[in-house]
A and B are shown apart, each in its own frame.
Chain A
Amino acid sequence: MVVSELKRAIPSDGFCDLRYQEYELTTIKGTKKEIDTVAVIKKSGGNVRVLTGGGFGSFCFTDTADLPLAFKEARYASDLIKGNKVLDQYEVNVDTVKVQPEMDPRTIDISDKRSLVSHYINLFMSYDEIVNLETEYYEQFTETLILNNKGTEVSQEELIVGINFRITSKREALTQITRLSLGGGENYLDLLDKEAEIHAKAKQTIDLLDAVPVVGGNYDVVLDSEVSGLFIHEAFGHLSESDSLIGNETLAKTMTLGSEFASEIFNVIDDPTLYGYPGSYTYDHEGTKAKKTYLIKEGRLSGRLHSMESASQLGEIPTGHARAKHFGFTPIVRMGNIYIDKGQHTLKEMISSIDNGLYLFGAAGGQTSGDTFTFAVQGAYKIENGELTHMVRDLALTGHLFSTLKNIEMVGDELSFSRSGGCGKGGQILIKSGKGSVPIKIKNMGIGGK
């Protein structure tokens, strides 16, 4: 369907928008030494939203012949909601965004991609004590057209390519699992020549078999960049997604801007405009330009992530964070690239400040439920009298957000971003959600073993 036809289908009253998307996902998946599946998935469809009543009605479709039905159903749904909600915070943008990677994965023959994946698989599986390996090459390309009846017409390409490994080592009855991610941006070049990283991760996974199980309890801990990134994503990032404040006045009060959340050395930013990370993009799925947003500045809550609706509701500026997995879903507020910004301490200073603690490395998944969070890490080193000593295994962390943020004592000076995207919310797994951090030191953190 051509753009002019789509534009003509959009009703003029209230606020109405249409997002039409073509989605292509190439995957190569393997287990152990085998490549199990190679797939090129293509899906296309649209999502319309109408605001003529007290809330949004939305409808998604895969057949463009259903576009009039979609607007009719969305309008009917919106009018069923009592009231008259007004969207007064929105941007009108007209733009075309094309991806321009240095090496475009779409130009690489699929057999070459398969060979690369097989090469890395063989490196991992050359170690006797690596007993299982789950591998996934993914390359997701989307072409999105966002139109609304206020004048927005944004056409945007998005591309992400990467390889994720989940590595299991085993000795007798003991198994250990680690993860490694490559890529996460749009450049195929970022996947090449990673042999040294693979050997290092394989060795670390095997070394964890010699580690001692952690003794559960409270420790002063240093989190490496990857674990800090997961911490800020799970513990605080989801709370900064302000669609959860709509209609929830008590939570909005808890999240009053200016509230002191941490000490003044602590700064948290979400920036989708950084180039080359999983959560990098130019426009969100409402056609709002993505903005670098300070969430915590010098310890105080200074901003939050918005859709047009949440910004209108709270009288703030849309930050360009309303996104959807694809056309089959309504956009909801999601993190772009959230990170803890640089502080003044070196990693060495943080470690040497601890007499009895842990240096945690490697993220292994997490979850949040409002003010409490949990996440698993791949492993740790014991810190004794300011020095790293032996490896420790089987760690999971849990904590209360507000007390944990106040326990952050030192903030590192070397910022790095995870190559692994992915976040689940509202039934949508979004690959293009990134996280990063400097290492941080937290006192008195609850650590549970397995």
Chain B
Amino acid sequence: MKSLIEKALKVCDAAELYERRVFSTSVAMLMGELNGIDGEKKTEISIRIIKDGKMGAAIATDIEDESLIDRALISLTQQGTTAEPFEVHEPAKVLSYSEAVVDLSTADLVHQIEALNERILQLDGQVKFGIEVNKTLTEIYMENSSGFSGSYKKSIYELGIFTLNDKGFYNASLEKVGCEISDITDSELIALLEKHKLEQHPVSLENEKLPVILSGSVMGAMMLRVLGGVNGGNVLKHISPVENRMGEKVFSENITIRDDATYAYGVNTMAFDDEGTTAQNTVIYEKGVLKSFLLSQSQAKKLGLKPTGNAIKRALFSKEIEDAPTVFESNMIVEGNCISDEGLIRSIKRGLLITGVMGAHTGNIIQGEFSLNVSSGFLIEDGKMVGKVKGAMIAGNVYELFNDIEAIGTELEPMRGIFYHLGYSPMVKFGGVNIVGK
């Protein structure tokens, strides 16, 4: 790495090198039969350079790529981005690595998936389902010419189960993700199978306003919109709806949202972000009051604030190095006025539990608007789930919806963004949501 920085410094004033090595194995099973095992060992390199106060960047898969510095110079000349000097921070000590995950062989993953398959069949011999398991080891190395030098390792273990309805389409699902091996309990499997069976009781809704519980997973669709508002890039471009609302109560006092890159064994836990900023726990909304934006180093300088360690080299639909670092979430954590998940469901006389939505990537996300198909939702009557909702949509704006939070559950679920996980949330109960029914 040092030699590439030295080479770069012959044509520029400052340089930063970032290297990511990824090793992963994925195993998939459908209806009791393994249908493929995929592995990878790949390296990605990214360089950023500063010359005459301007920044340029380039990406490669080979550190020997002769064109890397030339391409960074093209970027520097063309984009004309004003550069801030590379900074030096101390990497945080985080729990992001589990030897137990790394030690799992492909055969171990196959045995795990086969054992889980048997457990599900013991509970219900008729259900049609699939299981997917993935383990990933990532090694990050980073250096810059200002003196920063850091590295960390990260393991990810991801497990998903889905059931199929009698036409062969996706029905109910359950997923776990984190840096450690996750276990799925029998009670979680039983809850999954109960939701699966509600397919036999389809219900249609009118156009109506109902109390709604969003599962932790579905909260990810809402969190994309929350992130749009507090993304430092959107604040600086004056397109954030909360640009001028720092310190104000924007959401219900029943919700606190933080972005915690130090969260132990979290899906997006890291020691430092892709600019080298120390990982931190940033409270974004505390009891509904806006406390912080998420900022890269240059954004923080422009706003006279401190960077939050959220500059990541990825894109919305890709976790490969696709771009210069821009603001993304680490582990978004939703907390608040908690009552038990069972208590939340019992508290509803007539309403919905929504566990899956489609269309999270459409609409005016930055302004908080959503219009989502309920792909997996259950009608609750007198505190019990009585049927699966067919053909309904929910629509609204998070800046209204999040003022109507009545309570928050206790069991954390991974929040699903579009392809990826945004962190963890329990289920959240809203007082009234507009449903587009028949």
Contact = CB atoms under 8 A, between A and B. Distances in A.
Chains A and B are bound partners = yes
Interface of A: 28, 31-32, 35-45, 54-63, 66, 69-70, 73-74, 76-78, 80-83, 110-111, 114, 131-132, 168, 175, 177, 216-218, 246-254, 328, 330, 364-376, 394, 396, 398-400, 424, 427, 429, 446, 448-450
Nearest to B70: A40
A27 to B, nearest CB: 8
Contacts of A400: 390-391
B110 interface: yes
A374 B438 contact: no
A396 B37 contact: no
Interface string B20-40: 000001000011011111111
Contact of B110 (A80, A132, A371, A398): A80
Q: Which 7 residue pairs spanning A and B have beta carbons closest together?
A: A251-B168, A370-B169, A374-B373, A77-B37, A250-B168, A448-B436, A38-B78
B138 to A, nearest CB: 14
A424 B419 contact: yes
A271 B361 CA distance: 27
A37 B391 contact: no
A427 B314 CA distance: 14
A55 B106 CA distance: 14
Given A366-B362, A371-B167, A375-B362, 16 more contacts: A28-B78, A37-B324, A43-B44, A55-B35, A82-B33, A110-B74, A131-B239, A248-B128, A248-B168, A251-B167, A328-B40, A364-B362, A372-B358, A396-B362, A398-B436, A424-B419
Contacts of B65: 42
A248 B393 contact: no
A74 B391 CA distance: 42
A35 B80 contact: yes
A174 to B, nearest CB: 10
Specify which of A28, A175, A396 lies most central, judged by the most chain B CB atoms within 10 Å of its CB: A396
A396 B318 CA distance: 26
A314 to B, nearest CB: 14
Nearest to B374: A398
Contacts, number: 246
Interface in B65-104: 65, 67, 71, 74-75, 78-81
A314 B227 CA distance: 45
Contacts of A427: 419
14 contacts: A36-B81, A39-B324, A40-B58, A42-B59, A54-B34, A55-B37, A70-B41, A77-B38, A248-B164, A249-B168, A250-B164, A250-B168, A398-B392, A449-B395
A362 to B, nearest CB: 12
Specify which of B363, B370, B371 lies most central, judged by the most chain A CB atoms within 10 Å of its CB: B371
B28 to A, nearest CB: 9
Nearest to B318: A429
Contact of B371 (A39, A66, A450): A450
A400 B41 CA distance: 41
A450 B363 contact: yes
B418 interface: yes
B396 interface: yes
Contacts of A394: 371
A77 to B, nearest CB: 4
B72 to A, nearest CB: 9
Contact of B39 (A42, A45, A77, A399): A77
B356 A369 contact: yes
A41 B39 contact: no
Main secondary structure of the interface of A (DSSP, over half): strand
A24 to B, nearest CB: 10
A62 B24 CA distance: 13
A45 to B, nearest CB: 6
A84 B436 CA distance: 49
Nearest to A429: B317
Contact of B57 (A39, A44, A83): A39
B79 A36 contact: yes
Interface string B394-419: 01110000000000000000000011
Nearest to A370: B169
B38 A396 contact: no
A114 B78 contact: yes
A61 B42 contact: yes
Nearest to A255: B168
Nearest to B322: A41
B363 A58 contact: no
A325 to B, nearest CB: 8
B337 interface: no
Contacts of A449: 371, 395, 436
B367 interface: yes
A364 B81 CA distance: 30
B393 A448 contact: yes
Contacts of B75: 37-40
A80 B37 contact: yes
A161 B24 CA distance: 32
Given A374-B359, A448-B436, A449-B436, A247 B35 contact: yes
Interface in B49-69: 57-62, 65, 67
Contact of A175 (B35, B107, B367): B367
B391 to A, nearest CB: 6
